Amino acid sequence: MTRRAEIIPFKGVLYNPKRIDITSVMAPPYDIVTPKLKEVLYSGSPYNIIRIDFGKDNEGDDEKENRYTRAAKLLDNWLKQGIFTKDSSPSFYCYEADYEINGRKKKLRGFLGAVKIEEVGSGKIHPHEMTYSKPKTDRLNILRFCKANISPIFSLYSSPRRLTSSILKKIVKEKAFIEAKNGDGFIHRLWQISDKTSIETIKKELSDKDIFIADGHHRYETALEFQNEMAKKGLIKTGKEPFNYVMMLLVNMEDDGLTILPTHRLAKIEKKKKIHDALKPYFNIKVIKFDRTTEEQAKYDMFKAMQKSKHSFGMFIKGEKAFYVLKFKGSYSKIDSHPSLKNIDVTILHQFIFEKLLGINKFEYEMDAELVIKKLKNGPFQAAFFLNPTEVHDVRKVALAGQRMPPKSTYFYPKILTGMVIYKF
């Protein structure tokens, strides 16, 4: 029997726009908040959601007083003070972000709901990336103390019929309950969906759909771990308890609002002189030379050439006055990986270029190409490798096969704001 996805409405906890400036209390997801940005968010408002979702450690913190106990107190106090309000009826929430990328204006649109948690790989929910343990510990403590999902997991589904998409398209013509502007100037809006007809249509359409975790693997795995903790305590009686569900933003990948950006790599290489010799048998190598005045144009030409051809990589070697475009011409049979992963760029880079050809095991990630070059010139790295974005159909293919891409294979854009709605158990 095929497992069915269970997605239900919930009584959301939302900021009260009559009490505070909504833009001043929102925050990006915790995993992209730098120490400097955290200070900015703290100083922006005493009610910024960062104080709950990713608070500060204080000197003298102990088991009874720490950032997690403070987060729980703030959540309860802001509810009592009316800074937060809780909806009276279970609802889905339409979420829309107006943003711009590469000069093109786009709209990301989806809905927030509570999705029944299941063991990874056992049913309809599919991860696509590997995770690290440290962030999971932090997220688990937020669940233990706050008894709430503070920020949503960003997930995808595929529905060419677009029944839910049609409902959302109609709703966004109305005035939003919440509207906030992020640091890039993008507008994020939220609407409540409480009418029974819309709720039942959404539940029915999503019931047979696979759900792919785009952003928030740590949050999903910690939600599962928290559910297991509750089970060990004997607190699961019906399976309908709120902690058996996790808040997700669900976006139809058939809509045109989704953007995936690449994350580039900076590598430390022992034998820099042998890079070209190792790569030449398996890649067509295009050389784009530059001098002091033409470096920017050469970098532009490299990215332009990469985008024209599938399985192409950019490369920049410390001390050389050239960018390189590497076009893979080898056989996928030489890549020791699952069939769903063999012809994906991040796999070719990690398992073939890094591990097999160059013996690279020390590297760092960076999204900003300008910063990549700056770090290469001034840091301990010998080479930089640039990637094209992973395609969304590859995410689906890998996830359905039960496989995981390397970390930082995808960067879904724009990031969803934390604080738009909270799912409190």
DSSP secondary structure string for all residues of 199-246 = HHHHHHHHTT--EEEEE-HHHHHHHHHHHHHHHHTT--SSS-SGGGEE
Q: Residues 150, 417: contact at Cβ < 8 Å?
A: no
Q: Are residues 41 and 179 in the same domain?
A: yes
Q: Write out the E strands in 51-120.
A: 84-86, 92-101, 104-116
Please check whether residues 287 and 349 belong to one and the same domain: yes
pLDDT values of the chain reduced to their tens digit, one per residue, 425 residues: 446 789 999 999 999 999 999 999 999 999 899 999 999 999 999 999 999 999 999 999 999 999 999 999 999 999 999 999 999 999 999 999 999 998 899 999 999 999 999 987 778 999 887 766 556 788 999 999 999 999 999 999 999 999 999 999 999 999 999 999 998 899 999 999 999 999 999 999 999 999 999 998 889 999 999 999 999 999 999 999 999 999 999 999 999 899 999 999 999 987 666 899 999 999 999 999 999 899 999 999 999 999 998 899 999 999 999 999 999 997 777 788 888 998 899 999 999 999 999 999 999 999 999 999 999 999 999 999 999 999 999 999 999 988 989 888 999 999 999 999 999 99
Query: Would residue 405 count as lying in a domain?
Result: no
CB atoms within 10 A of CB 377: 12
Q: Could you tell me if 24 and 157 lie in one domain?
A: yes
Q: Are 306 and 388 in contact (CB under 8 A)?
A: yes
Domain holding 321: CATH number? Answer: 3.30.1760
Q: Would residue 149 count as lying in a domain?
A: yes
Same structural domain, 276 and 231: no
Q: Are residues 206 and 254 in the same domain?
A: yes
Specify the pTM. Answer: 0.91
Q: Are residues 304 and 236 both part of a single domain?
A: no
3-state secondary structure of 14: strand
In this structure, how many other beta carbons lie within 10 angstroms of the beta carbon of residue 224? Answer: 16
Shared domain for 128 and 174, answered yes or no, is yes
Name the token pair of 116: 């029944």
In a domain, 402, yes or no: no
Q: Which residues of 260-287 are buried (b: 16+ CB within 10 A; e: fewer)?
A: bebbbbbbebeeeeebeeebeebbeebe
199 lies in the same domain as 318: no
Which residue type, as a one-letter code, is found at position 415? K
Residue-number span of the structural domain to which 111 is assigned: 7-259+412-424
The Cα-based distances of 43 to 46, 151, 421 in angstroms read 7, 21, 22
Instruction: Identify whether residues 235 and 193 lie together within a single domain.
Output: yes
Rounded CA gap, 173 and 89, in Å? 22
Q: Are residues 281 and 327 in the same domain?
A: yes
Are 226 and 344 within one domain? no
How many folded domains does the chain comprise? 2
Rounded to whole angstroms, the Cα distance separating 412 from 402 reads: 20
The verdict on residue 55 lying in a domain is yes
Tell me whether residue 88 is in a domain.
yes
Q: Is residue 165 part of a domain?
A: yes
Decide if 280 is inside a domain: yes
Closest CA to 14 of 163, 178, 139: 178
Together in a domain, 269 and 341: yes
- What distance in Å separates the CA atoms of residue 82 and residue 356, rounded to the nearest whole number? 59
Q: Under 8 Å CB-to-CB from 409, ≥6 apart: which residues?
A: 128, 129, 263, 344, 346, 390
Establish if 36 belongs to a structural domain: yes
Q: How many CB atoms lie within 10 A of CB 177?
A: 19
